[in-house]
Amino acid sequence: MSPISSAAPRERLRIAIQKSGRLAEPARALLASCGLSWREGRDRLFCHGESLPVDLLLVRDDDIPGLIAEGVCDLGIVGRNVLDETNAGREALGAAAAARELRPLGFGDCRLDIAIPDGVEWTGPTQLSGLRIATSYPGLLRRWLDGQGIDAGVVTLSGSVEIAPRLGQADAVCDLVSSGATLAANRLRPVLTLLRSEAVLAGPLRAFGDARDELAQMLQRRMDGVLKIRDSRLLMFQATRSAVPGLLALLPDAEPPTVMQVDGKDTLALQALCHGAMSWQRLEDLKLAGARGLMVLPIERTLA
Ligand code: ATP
Ligand code: ZN
């Protein structure tokens, strides 16, 4: 790895992603579909960008906001939960945020929930007063409790938060939930959501002031394109002129269609970019409404 100085102008952009774990593969896949490719480093921590001057740093997700704050890396792909927790922790100390969210990325969905033991009745947030809540997110929990004016104890644990109530360490937990299966297996049930999270692109509070700004802009433009078409398809069909309004009513998620005349009078050919799922049922509905020769095509790439 080349020596790092956050002050000197840099020509290459460095992006931190999780080395292994839930976000590792989807983050790489997203960057690859933006046209990035890398030569794997022998140390498996640094990958030199080949197609563009954009290098990868493979790290623990918890380190990503701090690495951006220090200027060791320029951008990062990290859960909003981790980014907001880091910033909340710094805010509590009167320090500036480490990094800011540039855009959500549509994967790694989860929630930060408060959960209580199965048998306990839930009457509302004030019930938490005087209780001990175990969490790996003390910054976010403390900020939420303060905002609600609730005086509860925060028990900070780095892992296995969900067994804390059974061990008598806490009365409730504040933990990440996706399916809820882990909570249920530990006889806990979610009662409140503090944060809805997904993977986000994180970046510094200020512009770089060198070539990296243009690279970061380009990367975000490409991400826009990739994310926009993730569930999008090009729909093509023919219909008589009079059937078109009814057909378009069935396509509320479509961009304004391109309409072409086929036989000089009544038959039209339409193509429309649709952003929602194109199920068999939808095709059947369109056919019933007068669409003929329906075709659904994948989209390789778009650039606005
Ligand atoms: P690391 O070794 O990088 O610290 P980790 O154990 O903290 O890994 P993972 O369990 O891989 O991290 O989770 C990474 C991110 O995936 C979380 O911070 C969160 O944003 C997201 N995520 C999605 N669903 C869940 C879930 N059910 N539990 C935990 N994290 C989830
Ligand atoms: Zn982690």
Q: Is residue 155 part of a domain?
A: yes
Q: Specify whether 120 is located in the same domain as 179.
A: yes
Ligand that comes closest to the CA of residue 83: 1
For residue 176 and ligand 1, the question of a CB distance below 6 A is answered with yes
Give the pairing of strands 54-59 and 172-177.
Answer: unpaired
Contact between 116 and 103 (Cβ < 8 Å): no
| Residue 155, token pair as written in the block | 């028990």
For residue 48 and ligand 1, the question of a CB distance below 6 A is answered with no
What is the domain range of residue 148? 110-196
**φ and ψ at 11, to 5 degrees?**
-95, -20
Rounded CA separation 112/174 (Å): 7
CA of 303 to the centre of ligand 2 (A): 34
Q: Specify whether 99 is located in the same domain as 20.
A: yes
Rounded CA separation 94/102 (Å): 23
Last-in-domain residue among 212, 228, 244? 228
pTM: 0.86
| Residue 206, token pair as written in the block | 């200020």
- Tens of pLDDT, residue by residue over 200-238, are 999 999 999 999 999 999 999 999 999 888 889 999 999
Q: Is residue 304 part of a domain?
A: no
Rounded CA separation 285/283 (Å): 5
Q: Specify whether 81 is located in the same domain as 218.
A: yes
Residue 6's pLDDT is what?
52
Q: Specify whether 128 is located in the same domain as 271.
A: no
Q: Is residue 8 part of a domain?
A: no
Residue 263's pLDDT is what?
77
* Residues of the chain with confidence (pLDDT) below 50: 1-3, 5
CA of 292 to the centre of ligand 1 (A): 46
Residue 7's pLDDT is what?
62
Residue 1's pLDDT is what?
47
Using CA positions, which residue lies closest to atom 23 of ligand 1? 108
As for how many domains the chain has, the answer is: 3
Q: Tell me the CATH number at 220.
A: 3.40.190.10
Q: Tell me the CATH number at 237.
A: 3.30.70.120
